[in-house]
Amino acid sequence: MSNMAKPILVIAIAVVLAGGAAFYLTRSTEPEASATSDSSAGGAPAIGPGHTRGPADAPITLIEFGDYQCPSCRAYHPVVAEVLKRYPDKVRLEFHHYPLIQIHAHAMTASMAVEAAGEQGKYWEMNDLVFELQPEWAQSQNPETEFLTMASRLGLDQNKFMQSMRSLELQDRVLKDVVAARQGNIEAVPTFFLNGKQIQPRLAVDDFVKIIEAELQAIGAAGAAK
Amino acid sequence: MNVRGLALALLSFTGMIDSLYLSLKRDPGSIPCHITKGCNDVLTSAYSELAGIPISWFGFVFYITVFTCAVFALFGSNQLLKWLLWPALAAFVISMGLVGVQAFVLQAFCEYCLASAALMTAIFVLVLRSPKAAANTI
What SS3 class is residue A64?
strand
**Average pLDDT rounded to a whole number, residues A136-152:** 92
Q: Is residue A43 domain-resident?
A: yes
Are residue A15 and residue A48 in the same domain, yes or no? no
Are residue A43 and residue A107 in the same domain, yes or no? yes
Are residue A24 and residue A110 in the same domain, yes or no? no
Task: Write down the pLDDT at residue A41.
Answer: 47
Q: Domain count of chain B?
A: 1
* pLDDT tens-place string over residues A91-110: 999 999 999 887 788 999 99
Q: Domain count of chain A?
A: 2
Q: Is residue A224 domain-resident?
A: no
Are residue A21 and residue A68 in the same domain, yes or no? no
* pLDDT tens-place string over residues A19-30: 999 888 877 655
Q: Is residue A226 domain-resident?
A: no
* pTM assigned to the model: 0.63
Rounded Cα distance, B30 and A182, in Å: 19
Query: Could you say which residues from 9 to 38 on chain B have a Cβ atom under 8 Å away from some Cβ of chain A?
Result: 9, 13, 16-17, 20-21, 23-25, 28-33, 37-38
Are residue A150 and residue A49 in the same domain, yes or no? yes
Closest by Cα among A218, A199, A221, A224 to A33: A199
Are residue A110 and residue A25 in the same domain, yes or no? no
Task: Write down the pLDDT at residue A37.
Answer: 36
Residues whose CB falls within 8 Å of the CB of residue A91, separated by 6 or more in sequence, listed in order: A54, A58, A60, A61, A62, A83, A84, A212
Task: Spell out which residues of chain A touch residue B45, defining contact as CB-CB under 8 Å.
Answer: 103-104
**Residue B75 burial (CB < 10 Å; 0-12/13-18/19+)?**
middle
**Average pLDDT rounded to a whole number, residues A50-72:** 91
Q: Is residue A93 domain-resident?
A: yes
Rounded Cα distance, A167 and A182, in Å: 23
Q: Is residue A186 domain-resident?
A: yes
Show the low-confidence residues of chain B (pLDDT under 50).
Answer: 28, 133-138
Are residue A92 and residue A196 in the same domain, yes or no? yes
> Is the pLDDT score of A125 beyond 60?
yes
Are residue A20 and residue A45 in the same domain, yes or no? no
Q: What's the CATH number where B14 sits?
A: 1.20.1440.130
Task: Write down the pLDDT at residue A32.
Answer: 45
Task: Write down the pLDDT at residue A85.
Answer: 95
Rounded Cα distance, A202 and A80, in Å: 11
Q: What's the CATH number where A53 sits?
A: 3.40.30.10
Task: Write down the pLDDT at residue B41.
Answer: 74
Q: Is residue A60 domain-resident?
A: yes
Task: Write down the pLDDT at residue A94.
Answer: 95
Task: Spell out which residues of chain B touch residue A31, defining contact as CB-CB under 8 Å.
Answer: 32
Interchain pair B28, A7: CB under 8 A: no
Looking at residue B95, its amino acid is S
* Residue numbers of the domain that contains B9: 3-136
What SS3 class is residue B77?
coil
Closest by Cα among B129, B121, B114 to B81: B129
Are residue A69 and residue A22 in the same domain, yes or no? no
Task: Spell out which residues of chain B touch residue A64, defining contact as CB-CB under 8 Å.
Answer: none
Are residue A13 and residue A82 in the same domain, yes or no? no
Are residue A71 and residue A42 in the same domain, yes or no? yes
Q: Is residue A225 domain-resident?
A: no
To test the contact with chain B by mutation, choose from A103, A140, A203 the residue with the greatest count of B C-beta atoms within 10 A, namely A103
Mean pLDDT of chain A: 86
Are residue A54 and residue A166 in the same domain, yes or no? yes
- Indicate if ipTM > 0.85: no
* Residue numbers of the domain that contains A86: 34-219
